[in-house]
């Protein structure tokens, strides 16, 4: 129970809640008269004390709650009043002391209740004495200790209680007249020899010594153990504070006061105590009449708690059948009158705790409704079976059994159990049937039945066997059984102890077989499928299993810890550790390498050339110097090659003199007085070290002395030697070598390179221009004189521009050196164009010829030939069309072109004529496509519409057919009447 302080009074609150209960309160063991409403009232079950008074209301309060089940009592709550009376008015005696001597001024607090705190006033309020290494106020006694006094000191005591009330005591100190010499410490404030401390409390030990010089105060444990971090020293080491006191803090403590004159020690022992607290509470019990009760409550505390029991708020009366031992209550041969509310109280001198619970003693006839018998029990032949019969009954019922109508008697295989059950050993088929249990006590009886079914045991007839397979194969682990037809069976498979999930692992595992078979198929078997497989067959009454080991052999796992132990310019010494062999011994290893220049991993040459399965070192040879390499190892067995190892750390081979000269050494071209030498740069992986470059050597053909120069950039593909003495197109012998910081490497084979040619010096002669059409002009010229010793004449450049343009923005056309004409195309019609020609070679271009000009023709007529008509026989086609007349800005018509082809071919034939008619000698055995264009000096004019002449199939009486084409498309045919008119005109 706890208490709360109200402004109007005090309310005591109970911790328990009992429905529809009667509440009463006692003060100091006497019932409180609740009719005194001016002093007491109930708030629910809580007691409110109105205007409490110290004389009449101080004491222990306790609550009693009663209902139909019984009575329980709350723990006691003590009500105390805090007060502080005045000091006695009698004057205090004068205290005389020598200057430098220590002094103790006694407090002597007035009558009070509640904890006090102490302080001292110097001369007059509110000047308080400040505590330091010389002054100490004990919070245990209130006394003031002054280690070394000085003149003109006047002291007054003052005390305060915990509620802030203050009292002051009069008294004067005597002026000091003498001086005291040095003396050893004398401990005036010390803690008791034995001090009990509660668990979890804060303990404060005081220690203060007088002495001259001022003593130094230190603390220690007598057993030498160090102080934990939680311990604090306060008031200049005058107070040792231990928060959250625990049992390990108990022991002997020492205070040592020391100065130059000596030292003194005070000792005291802290003892540990703890109020009781529950380890095991009692719980509500419901027990049948005539049974026995064992009810245990356990609490811990220091000192060890003692126990007492209450029934319905009163001390439990012990008798022969009711005993209490070590807190446990036993009651034998329970009766209904033993029911009620019980409380176990654990207490020691520091406190007590309550635990409450209800005991309900019940009496009833047997009843199977809450605990019915099993309707069906299935067992197999030869097994042991127990049939339960446990109805609710108070007192416990006596049981008898029948099988069908026959009473079951105990014999060798059949026995009755103490709890009323029936046990049958070594069950046979004859034991099957319906069993009835009759339970009876003095209040009545009840029956329950169980149907016992006896089946044959399940046996595995074809069990899985150990297998050895390779990765990728498919296998079947058989599991076939013989079982009782009355039982349903279920097959389950376990792989390495885990239940196989056929949905999750359906890509590999499948259960196959009939009603008595649960074979396991494993498709595309993998290394992870190695292990133990268990087939378990379960029925309602038994289960059997069989196991087999499956070994899956695969290609080896990756070798481990590949290291490069030693590196040279062309070799690397490697070592590695064996990886998993996946149940097939490793036969050989191969080594692969990768560089920044390689395409992926490449197999390298090793010593030994063939690395056996028990060899874990090898030397890689034929490496390129000064190249960064990574290596990995691949193991192989009879299954195949495995996964490669992780790459080794990157290592660079040592430098060496380069061994590969540049390839494709050549040259030529360039400007006058230049010798151009070119080559393909040596790849970085073949440069063999830092400081790589080229040595270029050359000499005129027939000269013995080489001219050499150095090219320092490894990526440079050419060198140009310039000198005015170089003759045009002169042959030179050339070779290019290599070098790096390690030295010079080989030269390339000697090749012949010609110096730069001399550009042409004369212009082409007899240049002429001739207009070909409205958009083309042909320019022709005579070749320039040229000697082979001057080089190769590459060709001619033709420059042209129109009369409205400028020579600087002219267009150009180039032709090969053996050409003497060029056709300028895409020109504007009826416009004058100017042109000039010059020769060029690799050294440059020569001078231009004199400028010539020509005017393009007018454009061809835009009007196509119209009203094209035709007449066809089986051997020819006759055509007629209207004359095309050119406009003023168009070229005059000089004739016509007839284009014709069969509809199945693209080979077009052309007939030229200066008339407006034409005769085509064509066998009309298939369709023909015909169109007509006018011809002019400016080119061909616009084409007429295409005419389709069908092949001759049905001839008229005259053996011919005809048509006119002016408006209709080629797919349309003229009416027969029009054919006759045209034929008459012809």
C-alpha Rg value of the chain to the nearest Å: 64
Q: pLDDT at position 774, please? A: 87
Mean pLDDT over residues 691-715, rounded?
96
Tell whether omega for the bond before 303 is within 30 degrees of 0, i.e. cis: yes
Give the CA diameter of the chain.
178
Angle at CA 615, nearest 5°, toward 610 and 620? 55
Q: pLDDT at position 969, please? A: 34
Q: What is the DSSP string of 186-239?
A: EEEE---SEEEEETT--EEEE-EEEEESPPEEEEEETT-PPPPTT-EEETTTTE
182-238 pLDDT, tens digit each? 888 888 888 888 889 888 899 999 898 888 888 999 999 988 899 999 999 988 898
By the 8 A CB rule, do 486 and 453 touch?
yes
For residue 247, the SS3 value is helix
Closest CA to 116 of 86, 161, 169, 158: 161
Q: pLDDT at position 963, please? A: 54
By the 8 A CB rule, do 924 and 937 touch?
no
Can you tell me the distance from the alpha carbon of 453 to that of 384, in angstroms, rounded to the nearest whole number? 13
Closest CA to 67 of 23, 13, 14: 23
Can you tell me the distance from the alpha carbon of 265 to that of 217, in angstroms, rounded to the nearest whole number? 10
Angle at CA 359, nearest 5°, toward 353 and 360? 160
Q: pLDDT at position 183, please? A: 84
86-97 pLDDT, tens digit each? 877 777 777 777
Q: Positive or negative CA dihedral for 529, 535, 538, 542?
A: negative
Q: pLDDT at position 174, please? A: 34
Other C-beta atoms closer than 10 Å to the C-beta of 814 total: 12
Q: pLDDT at position 903, please? A: 77
Q: Spell out the residues 6+ positions from residue 203 whose beta carbon is closer than 8 angstroms to its own.
A: 195, 197, 241, 242, 245, 249, 270
Tokens of 64: 């009693």
Strand bridging mode 364-367 / 328-331: unpaired
By the 8 A CB rule, do 884 and 863 touch?
yes
Angle at CA 552, nearest 5°, toward 546 and 557? 145
On the question of pLDDT at 288 being above 90, the answer is no
Can you tell me the distance from the alpha carbon of 472 to that of 658, in angstroms, rounded to the nearest whole number? 50
Closest CA to 223 of 274, 270, 257: 270
For residue 493, the SS3 value is strand
Mean pLDDT over residues 862-890, rounded?
88
Other C-beta atoms closer than 10 Å to the C-beta of 152 total: 8
pTM for the structure as a whole: 0.45
484-528 pLDDT, tens digit each? 888 889 999 999 999 998 888 888 999 887 777 889 999 999 999
Closest CA to 481 of 464, 469, 465: 464
Report residue 23's pLDDT band, with 50, 70 and 90 as the boundaries. Answer: confident
Report residue 948's pLDDT band, with 50, 70 and 90 as the boundaries. Answer: confident
By the 8 A CB rule, do 1 and 77 touch?
yes
Q: pLDDT at position 667, please? A: 93
Q: pLDDT at position 976, please? A: 30
Please report the beta strands in 668-817, taking only residues with DSSP state E, as ranges in sequence order.
674-680, 693-700, 707-711, 718-722, 731-740, 743-747, 751-754, 765-771, 777-782, 793-802, 811-816
Other C-beta atoms closer than 10 Å to the C-beta of 349 total: 12
On the question of pLDDT at 105 being above 70, the answer is yes
Q: pLDDT at position 946, please? A: 85
325-374 pLDDT, tens digit each? 988 999 999 988 899 999 999 999 888 999 999 999 988 899 999 899 99
Element (H, E) at 838: strand 832-841
Mean pLDDT over residues 615-621, rounded?
97
By the 8 A CB rule, do 194 and 167 touch?
no
What DSSP designation does 558 have? P
């Amino acid at each position: 129970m706890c208490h709360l302080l109200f402004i109007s009074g005090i309310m005591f609150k109970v911790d328990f809640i009992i429905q529809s209960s009667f509440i009463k309160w006692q003060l100091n063991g006497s019932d409180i008269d609740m009719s005194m409403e001016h002093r007491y009232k109930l708030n629910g079950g809580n007691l409110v004390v109105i205007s409490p008074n110290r004389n009449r209301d101080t004491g222990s309060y306790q609550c009693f709650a009663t209902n139909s089940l019984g009575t329980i009592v709350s723990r006691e709550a003590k009500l105390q009043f805090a007060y502080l009376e005045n000091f006695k008015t009698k004057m205090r005696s004068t205290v005389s002391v020598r200057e430098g001597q220590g002094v103790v001024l006694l407090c002597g607090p007035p009558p009070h209740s509640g904890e006090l705190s102490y302080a001292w006033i110097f001369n007059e309020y509110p000047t308080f004495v400040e505590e330091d290494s010389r002054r100490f106020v004990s919070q245990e006694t209130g006394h003031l200790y002054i280690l070394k006094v000085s003149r003109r000191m006047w002291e007054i005591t003052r005390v305060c209680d915990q509620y802030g009330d203050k009292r002051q005591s009069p008294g004067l100190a005597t002026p000091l007249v003498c001086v005291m010499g040095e003396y050893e410490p004398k401990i005036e404030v010390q803690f008791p020899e034995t001090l009990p401390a509660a668990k979890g409390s804060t303990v404060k030990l005081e220690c203060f010594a007088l002495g001259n010089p001022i003593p130094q105060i230190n603390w220690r444990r007598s057993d030498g153990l160090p102080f934990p971090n939680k311990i604090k020293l306060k008031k200049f080491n005058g107070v040792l504070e231990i928060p959250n006191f625990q049992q390990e803090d108990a022991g002997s403590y020492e205070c040592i006061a020391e100065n130059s004159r000596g030292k003194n020690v005070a000792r005291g022992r802290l003892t540990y105590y703890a109020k009781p607290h529950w380890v095991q509470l009692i719980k509500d019990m419901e027990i049948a009449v005539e049974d026995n009760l064992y009810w245990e409550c356990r609490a811990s505390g220091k000192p060890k708690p003692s126990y007492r029991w209450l029934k319905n708020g009163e001390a439990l009366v012990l008798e022969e059948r009711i005993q209490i031992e070590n807190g446990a209550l036993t009651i034998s041969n329970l009766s209904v009158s033993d029911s009620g509310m019980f409380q176990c109280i654990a207490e020691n001198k520091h406190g007590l705790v309550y635990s409450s619970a209800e005991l309900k003693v019940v009496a009833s006839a047997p009843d199977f409704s809450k605990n019915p018998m099993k309707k069906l029990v299935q067992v197999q032949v030869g097994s042991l079976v127990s049939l339960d019969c446990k109805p609710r009954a108070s007192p416990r019922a006596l049981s008898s059994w029948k099988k069908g109508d026959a009473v079951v008697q105990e014999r060798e295989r059949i026995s009755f159990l103490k709890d009323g059950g029936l046990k049958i050993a070594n069950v046979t088929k004859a034991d099957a049937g319906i069993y009835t249990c009759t339970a009876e006590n003095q209040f009545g009886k009840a029956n329950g039945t169980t149907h016992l079914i006896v089946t044959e045991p399940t046996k595995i007839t074809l069990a899985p066997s150990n297998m050895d397979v390779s990765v990728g194969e498919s296998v079947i682990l058989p599991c076939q059984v013989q079982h009782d037809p009355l039982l349903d069976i279920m097959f389950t498979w376990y792989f390495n102890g885990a239940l196989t999930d056929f949905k999750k692992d359906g890509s590999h595992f499948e259960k196959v077989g009939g009603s008595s078979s649960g074979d396991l198929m494993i498709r595309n078997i993998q290394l992870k499928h190695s292990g133990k497989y268990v087939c378990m067959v379960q029925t309602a009454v038994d289960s059997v299993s069989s196991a087999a080991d499956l070994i899956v052999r695969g290609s080896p796992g990756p070798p481990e810890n590949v290291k490069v132990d030693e590196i040279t310019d062309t070799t690397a010494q490697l070592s590695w550790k064996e990886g998993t062999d996946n149940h097939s011994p490793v036969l050989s290893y191969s080594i692969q390498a990768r560089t920044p220049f390689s395409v992926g991993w490449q197999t390298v040459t090793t010593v030994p050339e063939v690395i056996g399965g028990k060899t874990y070192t090898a030397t890689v040879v034929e490496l390129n110097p000064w190249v960064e390499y990574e290596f990995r190892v691949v193991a192989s067995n009879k299954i195949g090659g495995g996964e490669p190892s992780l790459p080794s750390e990157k290592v660079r081979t040592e430098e060496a003199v380069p061994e590969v000269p540049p390839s494709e050494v050549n040259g030529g071209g360039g400007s006058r007085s230049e010798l151009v030498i070119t080559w393909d740069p040596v790849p970085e992986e073949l440069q063999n070290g830092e400081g790589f470059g080229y040595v270029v050597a050359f000499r005129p053909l027939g000269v013995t002395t080489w001219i050499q120069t150095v090219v320092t950039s490894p990526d440079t593909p050419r060198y140009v030697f310039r000198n005015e003495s170089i003759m045009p197109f002169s042959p030179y012998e050339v070779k290019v070598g290599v070098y790096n910081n390690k030295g010079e490497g080989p030269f390339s084979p000697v090749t012949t390179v010609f110096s730069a040619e001399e550009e042409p010096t004369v212009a082409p002669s007899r240049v002429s221009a001739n207009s070909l059409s409205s958009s083309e002009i042909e320019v022709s010229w005579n070749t320039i004189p040229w000697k082979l010793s001057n080089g190769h004449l590459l060709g001619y450049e033709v420059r042209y521009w129109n009369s409205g343009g400028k020579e600087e923005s002219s267009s150009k056309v180039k032709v090969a050196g053996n050409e003497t004409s060029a056709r300028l195309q895409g020109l504007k019609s009826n416009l004058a164009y100017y042109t000039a020609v010059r020769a060029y070679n690799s050294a440059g271009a020569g001078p231009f010829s004199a400028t010539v000009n020509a005017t393009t023709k007018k454009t061809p007529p835009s009007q196509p030939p119209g009203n094209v008509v035709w007449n066809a026989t089986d051997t020819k086609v006759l055509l007629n069309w209207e004359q095309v007349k050119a406009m003023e800005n168009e070229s005059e018509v000089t004739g016509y072109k007839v284009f014709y082809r069969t509809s199945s071919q693209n080979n077009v034939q052309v007939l030229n004529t200066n008339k407006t008619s034409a005769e085509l000698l064509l066998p009309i055995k298939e369709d023909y496509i015909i169109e007509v264009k006018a011809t002019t000096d400016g080119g061909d004019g616009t084409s007429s519409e295409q005419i389709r002449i069908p092949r001759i199939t049905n001839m008229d009486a005259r053996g011919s057919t005809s048509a006119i084409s002016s408006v209709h498309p080629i797919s349309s045919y003229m009416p027969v009447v029009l054919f006759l008119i045209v034929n008459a005109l012809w």
